[in-house]
Structure 1
């Protein structure tokens, strides 16, 4: 009999099945309801089919052997949700997100919450990913009957960005770390506290994001007001030079004076908002 042979049922909507020695994650409403291992699924149309390719198959098998099936199931529903927003996800998300959520659930149940120091930066840098992560958290809460803290939503957003951009999670986190560290440099130098929820800080973080992109990709920028900014905003320009020294060390790249001037402009705005 042709069809998919059920290998494991994760929940009512997600099953692991095989066909001609290839394993698939099948997602469809009610597909796992009253379904048993070894049964055949004869239909060919599903809401979503993920093929477990050979380079992740063994890792996924090891992961599900030690992870609660309900957690795996809801994570795959979350991945399905993400895939509707981004077509070509890194297949490692089936390992990394499931593993992360499983550990997060364990921590939450043990009341051992890990603080997310970059939450504001994540929400600003990865706005769409953060919104998807909030929807993912709601689904996890509904399925597992737990409360997902806001910091954890930020971590989920980082995983989403890493999967859709196909860059390493460490690089995704690094952007948030850099923005947060720069804010601390500015606060220390000006003896102020920046409102991390302000529009000015959101604009500043976005500017730093694009600065990093330009520097990494060797995209030049011209600032016609450079001399005027340097003369008019001396303190902000001095701090911008410190910020750029930090960026050059983190990115291992030289940064132009034109970029320094733009950063100085944003520092001046942050300074004025904090003082008045």
Structure 2
């Protein structure tokens, strides 16, 4: 049986512990830190969620956070992480702890100084990562309530990206690069006469773009047995789809196969059809 000794009390519900195995963890449980002191042993039955800080690099980053950020902020952010982990599939990367605390701490400082940083990709993030965005929306409300701040709405999208990156085990910047590319493709697509807005057809098209980017990056693209017919029947749209594919290829530095261009053609056709049916 692994013993857990409290190292830091971050809130009534969150403590940092040292395990008898030698690892450190962030442990969550209702009242877990209430009236406790460092050095006390945590009852395993009271631990509802736990994140291990397994690498020395992650632990070093977190120790830096502990010495530079108010424990109240750390505790509330850790509760947000526990909430998000409980509502999203996939185990979070341990790097989210220091990264999100640092982000929220800076966001609070900016808000108090009246500095608002907008997120130009909120629309894309909201539709690309809908589950993460919903959880982030509730998380920002929780942060505002418990830290007595008024974080701007754009912070929802920033948090959603942190949650997505933690689930995908990749850096926030990498995930944001994908969002930027999709945003660029949509913006350029408008110049070709396509209409991208808040409607369901646009959301469905964004979903296809996301899948296409994932397949191209993983080099697991699909075969299209109807490619010849698609090229003949939708010649004009196919030519435009080739331009879309060129933008994507440039952004990813990878080739988009003609089979995928055929699928993209059909999705562009459906986009227009669905939008026309809504008029």
Contact 1:3 1:40 in 2 (8 A): no
Moved more, 197-206 or 143-152: 143-152
Q: Secondary structure at the match of 2:146?
A: helix
1:188 aligns with 2:191: yes
C-alpha displacement of 1:67: 1.0
C-alpha separation in 2, matches of 1:100 and 1:23: 22
Question: Cα deviation per residue 1:73-128 (whole Å; 9 max; x = unaligned)?
Answer: 01111121222233522111111111111112222222222111222221222122
Corresponding residue of 1:81: 83
C-alpha displacement of 1:189: 2.3
TM-score for the superposition, normalised by structure 1: 0.87
C-alpha separation in 1, matches of 2:91 and 2:42: 27
Contact 1:244 1:260 in 2 (8 A): yes
Corresponding residue of 1:257: 258
Corresponding residue of 1:100: 103
Change (3 A) 1:193 1:203: closer
Question: Cα deviation per residue 1:2-21 (whole Å; 9 max; x = unaligned)?
Answer: 96544332222122233556
Corresponding residue of 1:203: 204
Unmatched tracts of structure 1, length 5 or more: none
Corresponding residue of 2:156: 153
TM-score for the superposition, normalised by structure 2: 0.87
C-alpha separation in 2, matches of 1:237 and 1:208: 16
C-alpha separation in 1, matches of 2:9 and 2:68: 15
Question: Cα deviation per residue 1:236-261 (whole Å; 9 max; x = unaligned)?
Answer: 32221111111111222111112112
Contact 1:194 1:270 in 2 (8 A): no
Contact 1:12 1:31 in 2 (8 A): yes
* Equivalences for residues 23-172 of structure 1 within 5 A: 23-36=24-37, 38-45=38-45, 46-53=47-54, 54-84=56-86, 85-172=88-175
C-alpha separation in 2, matches of 1:68 and 1:42: 23
Contact 1:56 1:92 in 2 (8 A): yes
Corresponding residue of 1:237: 238
Corresponding residue of 1:175: 178
Q: Secondary structure at the match of 2:17?
A: strand
C-alpha separation in 2, matches of 1:174 and 1:262: 23
Contact 1:126 1:157 in 2 (8 A): yes
Unmatched tracts of structure 2, length 5 or more: none
C-alpha displacement of 1:221: 2.0
Q: Secondary structure at the match of 1:41?
A: coil
Change (3 A) 1:239 1:42: closer
Moved more, 152-161 or 15-24: 15-24
RMSD: 2.5
Contact 1:186 1:267 in 2 (8 A): no
Moved more, 233-242 or 170-179: 233-242
